[in-house]
Structure 1
Amino acid sequence: MKTTVVNIVTPDGPVYDSEVSMVIVKTVTGEMGILPGHIPTVAPLTVSAVRLKKDNNKTDIVAVSGGFVEIRSDKVTILTPSAERADSIDLARAKEAVKRAEQRLQNKQDDIDFKRAELSLKRAMNRINVKEGNI
């Protein structure tokens, strides 16, 4: 079966580098399945899970916090502000981040940046869902 190389890169460095048979990402316009030989494309991503299917019926999952996907016929590159593999997510830390974000959203103070708090909540919920396999 054909494969394509996938690189997921953050400002801190590479998070994922492997050959896969299919990549599934969530763009701002919807979900996109990418197979080897896909037409070249660049698309913005949402806070979501990236599913990376391998030939051995194994699927790797990586939580990303937005960014862009660049697709070439033989390579997929995902550039994102942050990314975590499912097996490296600290569930307790993610749940604590949800609590903090919810508290910020419930406090109706003028100095609270609601957009930042909402985005923080989305990222934390995404990490929890990826860790627990609820994608």
Structure 2
Amino acid sequence: MAALNVSVVSADREVWSGEAAMVVARTVEGEIGILPGHEPMLAILAGGEVRVTLPGGEKITASAEDGFLSVHADAVQVVASRAELA
């Protein structure tokens, strides 16, 4: 099964990175779900949660403010001025 390589970073550190089955984030245009094979994209984050579902079904939640989300070749990067695990 394909997986996403995800990293969530803030201005001063990496908050979390690893493989995921799905990522859900809130953008200024609404909530978006990202699965393996998603089209490349760049979106501005709206303040809120980034939910990461691991391949085994476990969920990780981080809060992220003032940043962007990038998807390219099954890699998802969340870059925020402030981010922390919930």
Q: Classify the TM-score, shorter chain.
A: over 0.9
Amino acid at match of 1:6: V
| Structure 2: gaps spanning 5 or more residues | none
Amino acid at match of 2:57: N
Report which of the two structures shows the higher radius of gyration computed on alpha carbons.
Answer: 1
Deviation for aligned residue 1:48: 0.4
Match of 1:128 in 2: none
Question: Quick check: which one's strand share is greater?
Answer: 2
Amino acid at match of 1:17: S
Mapped partners of 1:3, 1:57: distance in 2: 12
* TM-score of the pair, normalised by structure 2: 0.95
Matched position secondary structure for 2:81: coil
**1:25-79 deviations in Å (ceiling 9; x for gaps):** 0000100000111100000001100000012111100011131001012200011
Mapped partners of 2:58, 2:16: distance in 1: 15
Determine which structure has greater relative contact order: mean sequence separation of CA pairs < 8 Å that are 6+ residues apart, divided by chain length.
2
Mapped partners of 1:16, 1:70: distance in 2: 15
Check the 8 A contact 1:15/1:85 in 2, yes or no: yes
1:1-135 aligned within 5 A: 1-86=1-86
Which deviates more from structure 2 when the two are superposed, residues 40-49 or residues 8-17? 8-17
Q: CA RMSD in A?
A: 0.8
Amino acid at match of 2:21: S
* TM-score of the pair, normalised by structure 1: 0.62
Moved over 6 A (4+): none
Percent same amino acid among aligned pairs? Answer: 35
Mapped partners of 1:51, 1:66: distance in 2: 16
| Structure 1: gaps spanning 5 or more residues | 87-135
Question: Quick check: which one's helix share is greater?
Answer: 1
Amino acid at match of 2:34: I
Number of equivalent positions? 86
